[in-house]
Chains A and B, each alone.
Chain A
Amino acid sequence: MEKTVIDTANHIAAYAAKAARVQVVAAYPITPQTSIVERIAELVENGELSAEYIRVESEHSAMSACIGAAAGGVRTFTATSSHGLALMHEALHWASGSRLPIVMVVVNRALGPGWNIWADLTDSISQRDTGWIQFYCADNQEVFDTIIQAYKLCENEQVLLPAMICLEGFILSHTYMPVKIPDQEKIDEFLPPYKPKWFLDINNPLSHGNIVTPDWYMDFRYMMYEAMENAKKLIPEIDKEYGRQFGFEHGELVDKYKCEDADLILLTMGTIGSEAKVAVDNLRREGLKIGSARIRVFRPFPTEEIRKLAENTQMFTVIDRAASLGMEGPLATETKASLYNQEDKPLIAGFIAGLGGRDVTFKTVEKIAKKSLEWMKKGKVEKETSWVDVRD
């Protein structure tokens, strides 16, 4: 039976891992991810989840153990955050290059110094080029649904890449929300047991991860590039299929809200996207034609959808909860790159907000939108990147 639970995104993530019937979990605790691995430990010890739980001694080992387990041919899960993800960096490359469909929850948190445990997307954005699919969630229901969908996506033979499901620390990780958990039998139908294309098999002894010379390496990378392109096509299909079966769709690659007639579209990721929807409604009451486009998938990047959105609007305002120091907000960069070869481009303004857990409410978003509208009227973006509410 489908049931509604009211719980934090972290506990919901643990329930999603259970619903996906993961077989090996290897994890190391880090704030604000801890309540995921604590809940999984409980589920394993009380027999609700018949998985192996490897209590590793670091995040590097967590991912390395996941690689061993996934190469061993079983469905594998882990979760981390911030410095833990940074420590995993090397192993992230090995996981994707080994074409292992590992799913990992990343609870987005700032990197030190100084120690800061609050929301910031810099941790996962820094892993942009590791060959991992990246989803960004805006509420707890999306966290549950995306974890289930991610296994279906990653285990597809056209993809065979790992995915990180990102959710912002405390804003989602420790916030209670109602979530519908579908009937387990139906989840099993949607996500059948993992059948690996290959695994460490004594009857078919292969060497995995051997030396690869320049003659082959690039071809392997190209296959990963193609897998990402395939993922871009499959994510909307899987989202729709899930929606048909369970009633929840989350907007495929981009969650669009009132964009059709918008003069100005707010581009965001994660929970700022939820605040943007409130801001859009408020501003529309003032007669301003604003829309919101929340980027759900950062890798593969939804270039085509961004281009389509750009056709009928005058301006994009990009709000990043991350900064690429020495450049701008990472989503701003990707958005501009997507449009460079297009003929009629909208103006694009970048705003950086909410780093290290500073609140970004609909009021912040409204302020950003109004500033953008001023520039739109002038036909000129006066400041390429604006840092919101920083001290002079």
Chain B
Amino acid sequence: MVTIKELPKEEYLLKGNTACAGCGAAISLRLLFKALGNKVILVVPACCTSVIPGPFPYTSFAVPVQNILFEATGATASGVVAALRQRGIKDVTVVGWAGDGGTFDIGIQALSGAAERGTDFIYICYDNEAYGNTGVQRSGATPYGAWTTTTPSGKKERKKRITMIMAAHRIPYVATACPSYPMDFINKLRKAKEMKGTKFIHILSPCPTGWRYDTSKTIEIGRLVVQTGIWVLFEIENGKFKLNPPSNGLVDKAKRKPVREYLKLQGRFRNLTESDIEKIQRMVDEDWEQYRKMMNQSV
């Protein structure tokens, strides 16, 4: 476990990038490089991170980046990994860095293929629960009730449990994270780096632009989503499920803040009725019943 004082000073996400103010993904990228250093090759599909570097001839990344088609991250990363092996390069980590659309929806096939083949890479889904780059349309990761431009009266369906789908691939490491808990994310990345095979990390990445909240509140929103138990920090290491702090202290419902506190800060939930909020609370509580049963179990 590394502490914040031990983190490197070097920055590999450079200044002058074009991320929105308060962008959870930009914070997460910075943390990614704090954890892994610069011996990293990023594979990035169409997503907000295709815009963050700025246009040619500029880039805000001080590591090599292969931009690729929306649905192709898993496959392209497999190609990069194979090329590194052929070149005898062993000290470079390949990281697939994709949004929720490129992971839950259009990219799930290539991701599944790469995981089934045991491709030796870290796949990170930074999930802002909508197609942010195209102007906030609904994705398979959008939660129940959320406004998007294609669900103007709120999404009627629930968010896909992508971590469980990935765990079903029997890959060595599946974990969740959130930029509001940087050391948790960094330590998970460092653990993933040392493991062989496909490692999947799912970040909930607060998005002021899409979620309609003030850009200064990203970290607060990220804390609240964990404290309310809507987002749960856990890891599944070699099939074994484990809750991480602070989520491991939230099994008792009384310890969790009401979901309302998280929802009320965001414009995307403005149209929720009282009964909608109660329904979301019930959903979260039911999920926790499952997490309680899964604790320290093989899943």
Contacts and interface: CB of A to CB of B under 8 A. Distances in A.
Interface in B42-77: 43, 50-51, 53-59, 61-69, 71-72, 74-77
A61 B110 contact: yes
A64 B69 contact: yes
Interface of B is mostly: mixed
A42 B65 CA distance: 34
Contacts of A62: 75
B41 A202 contact: yes
Contacts of A231: none
Nearest to B39: A202
B245 interface: no
Nearest to B38: A202
A54 B117 contact: yes
A209 B45 CA distance: 10
B168 interface: no
Contacts of B72: 60-61, 64, 67, 91
B2 to A, nearest CB: 22
Interface stretch (B85-93, B194-202, B219-227): B85-93
Interface in A16-60: 23-24, 26, 51-52, 54-58, 60
Contacts of A183: none
Interface stretch (A70-78, A110-118, A272-280, A300-308): A70-78
A24 B81 CA distance: 10
A23 B83 contact: yes
Contacts of B75: 26, 56, 60-62, 64-65, 68
B38 A205 contact: yes
A205 B61 contact: yes
Contacts of B40: 202
Interface of A is mostly: mixed
A206 interface: yes
A213 B76 CA distance: 24
B82 A57 contact: no
B29 interface: no
A196 B57 CA distance: 20
A238 interface: no
B119 to A, nearest CB: 8
Given A61-B74, A72-B79, A67 B51 contact: no
A55 B117 contact: yes
Nearest to B82: A52
B113 interface: yes
B272 interface: no
Contact of A56 (B50, B55, B78, B81): B78
Contacts of A208: 64-67
B27 interface: no
A94 B45 CA distance: 12
A201 interface: yes
A55 B92 CA distance: 23
Contacts of B41: 200, 202
Nearest to B79: A68
B67 A209 contact: yes
Contacts of B39: 202
Interface in B87-141: 87, 92, 109-110, 112-113, 116-117
B183 interface: no
Contacts of B265: none
A1 interface: no
A55 to B, nearest CB: 7
Contacts of B54: 210-211
B87 A212 contact: no
A52 B86 contact: yes
A216 interface: yes
B84 interface: yes
B64 A68 contact: no
Contacts of A211: 50-51, 53-56
Contacts of B55: 210-213, 216
Contacts of A204: 64
A73 B116 CA distance: 25
B63 A202 contact: yes
Given A69-B80, A209-B67, A74 B86 contact: yes
B82 A67 contact: no
A207 interface: yes
A209 B68 contact: yes
A41 to B, nearest CB: 14
Given A56-B75, A202-B40, A205-B62, A94 B68 contact: yes
- Candidate in B54, B74, B76, B79 with the most chain A CB atoms within 10 angstroms: B79
A207 B66 CA distance: 6
A205 B92 CA distance: 13
B110 A206 contact: no
A74 B87 contact: yes
Contacts of A213: 55-56
Contact of A68 (B43, B50, B87): B43
A5 B61 CA distance: 51
A64 B106 CA distance: 14
A334 interface: no
A258 B20 CA distance: 67
Given A56-B113, A90-B69, A205-B61, A68 B83 contact: yes
A21 to B, nearest CB: 11
B59 to A, nearest CB: 4
A145 B84 CA distance: 29
A68 B78 contact: yes
Contact of B56 (A26, A56, A216): A216
A202 B42 CA distance: 10
Contacts of B56: 210-213, 216
28 contacts: A26-B79, A26-B82, A52-B82, A52-B86, A57-B110, A57-B112, A58-B110, A58-B113, A62-B75, A64-B69, A66-B79, A67-B72, A68-B76, A68-B82, A71-B80, A72-B83, A73-B83, A73-B87, A91-B69, A200-B64, A202-B39, A202-B63, A205-B65, A206-B64, A210-B55, A210-B67, A211-B56, A212-B55
Given A200-B64, A205-B65, A213-B55, 6 more contacts: A26-B75, A54-B82, A68-B83, A73-B87, A200-B83, A212-B56
Nearest 5 pairs of A and B residues by beta carbon: A72-B83, A68-B79, A209-B67, A57-B113, A61-B75
